[in-house]
Amino acid sequence: MAFKLKSEFPHGELPLNVFKSGQMRVQRPVVNAAKCAWCGSCHLFCPTGCLIDKDGHFEANLDYCKGCGICAQVCPVQAIAMVREEY
Ligand code: SF4
Ligand code: SF4
């Protein structure tokens, strides 16, 4: 079967590269800004590249964060805690 560029979600023609992957998250990263060493490792390893520089520390754009926890695993100073989403 040929690869389809378009999403098959009910919204129809939404390209996959603008799909908001944060909609299916069960946990979220919470950054302790005071502990953040501003190394950028979380941004480099995040599969969606959604951790962004906030003038001295990094924070996740929750529209795209999938809650995988990789950022918390790679943070060298344990500045990121994963907390369960409450829906
Ligand atoms: S939990 Fe996963 S998707 Fe979310 S910011 Fe961390 S590495 Fe990125
Ligand atoms: S990996 Fe940790 S210390 Fe490095 S920028 Fe991200 S939150 Fe800050």
Q: For 19-73, write each residue's pLDDT tens digit.
A: 788 888 999 999 999 999 999 999 999 999 999 999 899 999 999 999 999 999 9
Q: Is 75 in the pocket of ligand 2 (CB under 6 A)?
A: yes
pLDDT at residue 10 is higher than 90: no
Q: Which ligand is nearest to the CA of 63?
A: 1
29-84, CATH topology level: Alpha-Beta Plaits (3.30.70)
Ligand 2 centroid–CA 3 distance in Å is: 36
Length of the chain counted residue by residue: 87
**Ligand 2 pocket, 60 CB below 6 A?**
no
Domain ranges of the chain: 29-84
Report the pLDDT value the prediction gives residue 72, as an integer from 0 to 100. 98
| pLDDT at residue 16, as a whole number | 53
Q: Which pLDDT belongs to residue 7?
A: 47
Q: Is 32 helix (H, G, I), strand (E, B) or coil?
A: coil
**Burial of residue 50, with CB atoms counted within 10 A of its CB: 0-12 exposed, 13-18 middle, 19 or more buried:** buried
Shortest-distance Cα residue to atom 1 of ligand 2 = 75
What mean pLDDT is predicted for residues 5-19? 55
